[in-house]
C-alpha cells in the first residue's frame, strides 16, 4: 500500500535525502506563496460580515493547504541516495570454517552458511559486483571458491579475520562484507575497541546468523575456577559453571587420575541458562595433580566433549613460615600456637614480649633466629610468608621496621594480620604508623580506648560465606548454622571507618549493633587483615573437647595468609584465550625481594610425551625483574616449564611450573549461536543482521551501500499518487463545505 501511494517502498525513503529539483527561481516561489496567501486573505476579509468566522477560517485553511501543495509540486520534490556503481565494486563473502560450524542436523551450520552466501551471488535482484571469497577461523584467507572448504579450524577470531579482509581491501572499492557465521568466538569475542577499529574502515558488515541460540538437549561445563596451588590437606573450593537451556538434574564428578574424589548432585534451575556449583576438594599428596571435572549429559545429547574440563593444581611440597609478634602473654597467643602446632605445613615462630626489654621465643629454627627481637633488615623479615602482630604498640618498632612491614606486604607480597588487644590496633597507635596505609580500616586515634572487654556473637557476612577459609562445612546452610552456634568471643575492638577496597568477612554482634570483626584488603602484591578480637580462645574453652572449630578456624586462616604469598622466584604459564598460545611470565627477585635485572633467562618447555622446546625469554618493558615468552604448543597435554636465570653463563635461580594445554577443544565450548555479537558487529558498521532463511532485504542494502564507488540516484516523488489524492481531497472538501454553507 505504501509503495502504491508514494511510488517507492518505505526503505527507499529511509535511506534517501529529500531535495527540490525544480528550476523555478526561489524568489518566484516566495512571490507566488505571498500573492496566493494575500488573495485568500482578501477573499476572507471581503465576506467577513456575511459569514460566520469559523466557516471562513475553515475555507481559508483548505485553500492555504492546497496552495502549499501546489507550490511543493512545482518545486519538484525528489529523493536522492548514493548507490553503488554496478560492475565497478567488490563484495567480500566471508564463510566461517571453524569446527563449531560442523554442528547441526540434518544440515550442518556450515552447509547452511554456504547456501546463504551462494544465494546472494545467484539472486537476480542483486546488483552486479565482483566477488571475493574469504574463509576464516583464527584468521582469514582469500580463496577462489568455497568448494574445497571444510569446518576444521580449532579457533575463531572474528575481529582478527575482519581486520585482515579490510586491510587487504583498503585500496579496492569494497562495497560490503557479508559474513556468515554462528558468532562463536574462541578469542573472547569482539570488544569495544575492536568494534571501533572495524567501523573506522567505513565498510558495512552484514552478518548472517546460523545455528541455534538455544540447545535444550545440550549441557556444557563452561568453566572451572580453583586455586592454582594449595597446601597438603587443605580443602579447596572449585567453582563449576554449567550452561543449559532447560531445567534438569545432573551430577558433577571430580577425578584425580582414575580416582573419583567427589560426586555432587546439581539442580539446573528453570528460567536461567547458567548454574554455578561449589565443590570442595581435599588433596593430601604433594605434587602436581591433574583434576578432571565432568557433568552428566542429557540422554539425547550429541556433543559430549563440552561436558568435561581438566585443570592442574600444585600441592606445595614445602613448609610455610609465619612470624607472630605479641606484646603480652595472653590466652589468644597460647591457643593460636596450640591450634596450629600439629600442622606440619606451617612453621610459626613467635616473639613474645614478657617485660619491656625481654622476649620469649618459640618455634625458632636456630638459636640466632629473632635473638635481637623484631627483624632489623628486609631479608630477615622477608623469609616469612605471613606476619601476625598482636597487642603491642607501634612505638615498640622503629620507623624503619614499620616501613619494612609495609614493604613486606606491598613488595614481598606477604600477608599481615593485625589482632585486637589493649595495646593493639588503634590503642597501639598503628593508625598513625608507617603501615596505616596498608590496613583495611582507618583506625581510631590513640587517645580513644577502642578495646572492649565484653562478649559478642560472631556473624558470617555474605562475603565471608563464600570464602574458603571460613568453611566449617561444604554445605552453605550447615556452615552458617555452625557459625551461629559458636560461643561468644571474649572481647572486641572498634576499627574505625573501612577503606573503599576493604571486605568484611565476619561481624561482631554487640550491644551497640554489628561492627566489623574480620576485614581484609589487597595492598600491592600482598594482603592485610584485621581480626578485631583477642578472644576467640573462648571457642576452645567453651566447646566440647572433640569439637575442632577453633583449630579449624586458625589453621584455615593461617593457610590462607601464606598460600597467597609469592616466592621471590616464580614462573607462571597462562593459556591464551582460544587455547592456541601459552604465555610465560618469569619473575626473579633476591632474598630482599629486590628485582634482579642483570641476568638472561631461558625457558625449556617439555611435553609429558617427551617433546622439548627452548624458549627465549625477553625482559618486560614495564616491570623490573620480569621476563616474558610465548609458546604455541604443537599438541595437547601437560607441559612442564623450567626458567633458568643466568649471570655470566652461571645459573642464578631456577623456577618451574606446568600447565594443562587442551589444544583444539575451545570450539566445542560456547558453540551456541552468538546472535548478540553478530548484531552488534552489524550495527556499528552500518550493516544489518539476517537470519539465514530470510535474506530478501539484502540486495537493496548492497545496492545502496555507502562504501565503494557510488553514484547519485534521483527519484522524483512530486507525481506520487498520494499528492494528487491529497489535492483532490482538499478541493472536494472545500466544494462540499461551500455546498453545505450555501452562503459562501
Residues 349, 399 share a domain = yes
Q: 543 versus 56: which is more confidently predicted? A: 543
- The helix/strand count (H/E) of the chain reads as 17, 38
The closest alpha carbon to 60, from 80, 36, 77, 84, belongs to 36
| pLDDT in the model for residue 31 | 83
Q: 396 versus 609: which is more confidently predicted? A: 396
| pLDDT in the model for residue 663 | 67
For the chain, what is the largest distance between any 2 Cα atoms, rounded to a whole number of angstroms? 126
Residues 302, 419 share a domain = no
Residues 378, 264 share a domain = no
**Number of C-alpha atoms within 13 angstroms, CB side, residue 15?**
21
Report which DSSP code applies to 412.
Answer: S
CA distance 102 to 93: 19
Q: 275 versus 37: which is more confidently predicted? A: 275
Residues 535, 420 share a domain = yes
Map 183-252 to HEC letters: CCCCCCCCCHHHHHHHHCCCCCEEEEECCCCCCCCCCEEEEEECCCEECCCCEEEEEEEEECCCCEEEEE
274-282, strands of its sheet edge to edge:
220-225, 235-243, 274-282
Which residues, listed in sequence order, are joined to residue 153 by a DSSP beta bridge?
A: 98
Per-residue pLDDT tens over the stretch 239-278:
899 999 888 899 999 999 889 999 999 998 888 889 988 8
| pLDDT in the model for residue 579 | 56
Rg (CA), the chain: 38
Per-residue pLDDT tens over the stretch 266-324:
998 888 889 988 888 888 888 888 899 999 987 778 888 889 988 888 887 788 999 99
Residue 744's pLDDT band (cuts 50, 70, 90)? low
The closest alpha carbon to 683, from 133, 213, 196, 214, belongs to 196
Residue 613's pLDDT band (cuts 50, 70, 90)? confident
Residues 224, 303 share a domain = yes
Is 315:286 a contact under the CB 8 Å cutoff?
yes
Per-residue pLDDT tens over the stretch 719-734:
778 778 888 888 888 7
| pLDDT in the model for residue 382 | 93
Q: What is the mean pLDDT of residues 498-507?
A: 95
Q: Find the angle CA(28)-CA(33)-CA(38) to the nearest 5 degrees.
A: 125
Is 241:192 a contact under the CB 8 Å cutoff?
no
| pLDDT in the model for residue 535 | 94
Residue 576's pLDDT band (cuts 50, 70, 90)? low
Q: Highest mean pLDDT: which of 74-78, 347-351, 575-579? A: 347-351
CA distance 493 to 470: 20
Report which DSSP code applies to 667.
Answer: G
The closest alpha carbon to 205, from 317, 310, 305, 93, belongs to 93
Total domains, the chain: 5
Report which DSSP code applies to 153.
Answer: B
Residue 659's pLDDT band (cuts 50, 70, 90)? confident
Which residues, listed in sequence order, are joined to residue 176 by a DSSP beta bridge?
A: 91
Residue 640 sits in which domain range? 569-666
Question: Using CB atoms within 10 A of its CB, is residue 295 exposed (0-12), middle (13-18) or buried (19+)?
Answer: buried
CA distance 407 to 531: 21
CA distance 470 to 464: 7
Domain C-terminal end among 542, 563, 584: 563
Residue 443's pLDDT band (cuts 50, 70, 90)? very high
Domain C-terminal end among 298, 315, 332: 315
Could you tell me the CATH number of the domain that includes residue 516?
3.40.50.880
Map 642-665 to HEC letters: EEEEEECCEEEEEEEEEEEECCCC
Which residues, listed in sequence order, are joined to residue 237 by a DSSP beta bridge?
A: 280
308-315, strands of its sheet edge to edge:
229-230, 308-315, 287-295, 248-256, 259-268
Could you tell me the CATH number of the domain that includes residue 300?
2.60.40.10
Which residues, listed in sequence order, are joined to residue 452 by a DSSP beta bridge?
A: 492
Residues 530, 424 share a domain = yes
Q: What percent of the chain has pLDDT over 70?
A: 97
Report which DSSP code applies to 596.
Answer: P
Question: What does the DSSP assignment read for 325-392?
Answer: EESS--HHHHHHHHHHTT-TTEEEEEEEEEETTEEEEES-SSTTTTTTSS--SHHHHTT-SEEEE-S-
Average pLDDT over the chain reads 87
Query: Is it the case that residue 648 has pLDDT exceeding 90?
Result: no
Question: What does the DSSP assignment read for 89-129?
Answer: -EEEEEEE-BGGGG--SSS-HHHHHHHHHHHHHH-TTSPP-
CA 120 to centroid of chain Cα atoms? 37
Is 60:102 a contact under the CB 8 Å cutoff?
no
| pLDDT in the model for residue 355 | 83
Per-residue pLDDT tens over the stretch 131-154:
889 999 988 999 988 888 889 888
Report the residue count for the chain: 744
Strand 320-326 relative to strand 386-389: parallel, antiparallel, unpaired? parallel
Residue 114's pLDDT band (cuts 50, 70, 90)? very high
Residues 471, 388 share a domain = yes
| pLDDT in the model for residue 710 | 64
Q: What is the mean pLDDT of residues 348-359?
A: 89
Could you tell me the CATH number of the domain that includes residue 194?
3.40.50.410
Question: What does the DSSP assignment read for 484-543?
Answer: HTSPPBS-EE---EEPTT-EEEEEEEETTEEEEEEEEEEETTEEEEEE--S-THHHHHHS
b/e sequence 371-402, b meaning 16+ C-beta within 10 Å:
eebbbeebebbbbbbbbbbbbbbbebbeeebb
Report which DSSP code applies to 284.
Answer: -
| pLDDT in the model for residue 491 | 94
Is 675:209 a contact under the CB 8 Å cutoff?
yes
CA distance 385 to 339: 18
Residues 484, 386 share a domain = yes
Domain C-terminal end among 524, 545, 563: 563
| pLDDT in the model for residue 573 | 86
Residues 127, 61 share a domain = no
Per-residue pLDDT tens over the stretch 692-719:
888 888 887 877 777 777 666 777 777 7
Helix (H) or strand (E) holding 188: none
Per-residue pLDDT tens over the stretch 60-79:
788 888 888 787 878 888 77
Per-residue pLDDT tens over the stretch 595-611:
988 899 999 999 888 88
Q: What percent of the chain has pLDDT over 90?
A: 40
Residues 95, 78 share a domain = no
Query: Is it the case that residue 532 has pLDDT exceeding 90?
Result: yes
| pLDDT in the model for residue 149 | 85
Q: What is the mean pLDDT of residues 388-409?
A: 95
Residues 634, 726 share a domain = no
Q: What is the mean pLDDT of residues 419-432?
A: 94
Q: Highest mean pLDDT: which of 100-114, 395-409, 628-642? A: 395-409
Is 591:379 a contact under the CB 8 Å cutoff?
yes
Is 488:452 a contact under the CB 8 Å cutoff?
no
Q: What is the mean pLDDT of residues 402-414?
A: 95
Residues 208, 90 share a domain = yes
Per-residue pLDDT tens over the stretch 4-24:
777 777 776 777 777 777 777
Q: What is the mean pLDDT of residues 326-344?
A: 90
| pLDDT in the model for residue 282 | 87
| pLDDT in the model for residue 743 | 57
Is 658:288 a contact under the CB 8 Å cutoff?
yes
Amino acid at each position: 500500500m505504501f509503495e502504491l501511494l508514494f511510488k517507492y517502498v518505505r526503505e527507499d525513503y529511509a535511506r534517501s535525502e529529500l531535495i527540490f529539483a525544480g528550476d523555478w527561481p526561489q524568489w518566484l516561489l516566495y512571490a507566488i506563496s505571498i500573492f496566493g496567501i494575500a488573495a485568500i486573505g482578501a477573499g476572507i476579509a471581503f465576506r467577513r460580515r456575511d459569514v460566520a468566522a469559523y466557516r471562513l477560517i475553515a475555507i481559508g485553511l483548505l485553500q492555504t493547504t492546497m496552495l502549499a501543495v501546489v507550490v511543493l509540486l512545482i518545486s519538484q520534490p525528489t529523493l536522492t541516495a548514493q548507490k553503488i556503481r554496478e560492475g565497478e565494486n567488490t563484495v567480500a563473502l566471508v564463510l566461517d570454517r571453524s569446527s563449531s560450524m560442523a554442528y547441526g542436523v540434518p544440515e550442518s551450520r556450515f552447509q547452511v552458511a554456504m547456501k546463504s552466501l551462494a544465494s546472494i551471488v545467484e539472486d537476480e535482484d542483486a546488483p552486479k559486483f565482483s566477488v571475493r571469497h574469504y574463509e576464516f577461523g583464527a584468521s582469514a584467507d582469500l580463496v577462489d571458491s568455497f568448494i574445497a572448504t571444510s569446518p576444521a579450524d580449532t579457533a575463531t577470531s572474528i575481529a582478527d579475520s575482519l581486520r585482515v579482509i579490510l586491510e587487504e581491501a583498503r585500496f579496492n572499492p569494497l562495497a560490503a562484507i557479508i559474513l556468515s557465521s554462528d558468532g562463536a568466538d574462541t578469542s573472547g569475542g569482539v570488544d569495544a575497541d575492536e568494534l571501533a577499529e572495524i567501523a573506522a574502515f567505513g565498510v558495512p558488515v552484514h552478518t548472517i546468523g546460523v545455528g541455534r541460540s538455544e540447545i535444550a538437549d545440550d549441557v556444557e561445563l563452561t568453566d572451572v575456577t580453583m586455586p592454582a596451588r594449595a597446601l597438603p590437606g587443605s580443602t579447596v573450593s572449585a567453582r563449576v559453571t554449567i550452561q543449559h537451556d532447560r531445567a534438569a538434574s545432573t551430577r558433577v564428578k571430580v577425578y584425580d587420575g582414575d580416582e573419583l574424589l567427589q560426586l555432587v548432585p546439581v539442580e539446573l534451575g528453570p528460567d536461567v541458562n547458567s548454574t554455578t556449583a561449589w565443590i570442595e576438594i581435599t588433596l593430601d599428596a604433594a605434587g602436581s595433580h591433574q583434576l578432571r571435572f565432568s557433568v552428566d549429559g542429557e540422554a539425547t545429547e550429541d556433543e559430549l566433549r563440552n561436558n568435561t574440563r581438566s585443570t592442574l593444581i600444585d600441592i606445595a611440597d614445602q613448609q610455610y613460615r609465619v612470624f607472630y609478634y605479641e606484646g603480652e602473654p595472653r590466652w589468644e597467643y597460647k591457643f593460636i600456637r596450640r591450634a596450629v602446632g600439629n600442622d606440619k605445613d606451617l612453621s610459626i615462630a613467635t616473639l613474645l614480649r614478657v617485660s619491656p626489654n625481654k622476649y620469649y621465643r618459640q618455634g625458632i629454627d636456630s638459636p640466632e633466629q629473632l635473638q635481637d627481637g623484631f627483624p632489623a633488615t628486609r631479608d630477615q623479615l622477608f623469609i616469612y610468608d605471613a606476619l601476625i602482630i598482636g597487642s603491642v604498640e607501634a612505638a615498640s618498632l622503629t620507623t624503619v621496621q614499620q616501613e619494612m612491614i609495609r614493604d613486606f606486604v606491598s613488595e614481598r607480597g606477604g600477608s599481615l594480620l593485625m589482632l585486637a588487644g589493649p595495646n593493639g590496633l588503634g590503642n597501639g597507635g598503628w593508625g598513625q604508623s608507617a603501615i596505616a596505609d596498608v590496613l583495611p580500616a582507618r583506625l581510631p586515634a590513640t587517645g580513644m580506648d577502642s578495646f572492649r572487654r565484653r562478649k559478642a556473637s560472631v556473624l558470617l557476612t555474605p562475603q565471608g560465606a563464600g570464602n574458603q577459609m571460613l568453611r566449617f562445612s561444604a554445605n552453605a546452610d550447615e556452615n552458617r548454622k555452625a557459625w551461629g552456634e559458636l560461643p561468644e568471643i571474649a572481647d572486641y575492638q572498634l576499627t574505625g571507618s573501612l577503606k573503599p577496597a576493604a571486605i568484611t568477612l565476619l561481624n561482631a554482634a554487640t550491644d551497640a549493633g554489628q561492627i566489623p570483626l574480620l576485614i581484609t584488603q589487597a595492598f600491592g602484591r600482598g594482603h592485610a587483615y584485621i581480626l578485631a578480637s583477642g578472644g576467640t580462645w573462648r571457642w576452645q574453652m567453651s566447646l566440647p573437647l572433640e569439637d575442632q572449630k577453633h583449630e579449624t578456624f586458625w589453621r584455615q586462616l593461617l593457610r590462607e595468609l601464606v598460600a597467597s604469598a609469592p616466592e621471590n622466584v616464580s614462573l607462571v604459564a597462562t593459556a591464551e584465550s582460544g587455547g592456541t598460545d601459552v604465555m610465560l611470565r618469569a619473575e626473579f627477585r633476591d632474598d630482599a625481594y629486590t628485582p634482579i635485572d642483570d641476568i638472561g633467562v631461558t625457558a625449556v618447555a617439555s611435553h609429558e610425551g617427551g617433546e622439548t622446546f627452548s624458549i627465549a625469554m625477553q625482559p618486560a618493558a614495564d616491570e623490573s625483574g620480569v621476563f616474558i615468552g610465548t609458546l604455541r604448543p604443537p599438541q595437547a597435554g601437560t607441559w612442564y616449564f623450567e626458567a633458568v636465570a643466568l649471570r655470566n653463563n652461571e645459573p642464578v635461580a631456577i623456577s618451574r611450573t606446568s600447565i594443562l594445554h587442551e589444544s583444539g577443544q575451545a570450539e566445542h565450548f560456547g558453540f551456541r549461536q552468538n546472535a548478540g555479537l553478530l548484531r552488534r558487529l552489524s550495527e556499528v558498521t552500518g550493516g544489518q543482521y539476517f537470519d539465514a532463511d530470510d535474506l530478501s532485504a539484502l540486495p537493496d542494502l548492497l545496492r545502496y551501500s555507502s562504501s565503494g564507488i557510488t553514484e547519485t540516484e534521483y527519484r522524483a516523488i512530486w507525481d506520487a499518487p498520494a499528492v494528487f489524492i491529497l489535492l483532490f481531497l482538499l478541493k472536494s472538501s472545500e466544494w462540499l463545505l461551500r455546498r453545505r454553507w450555501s452562503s459562501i
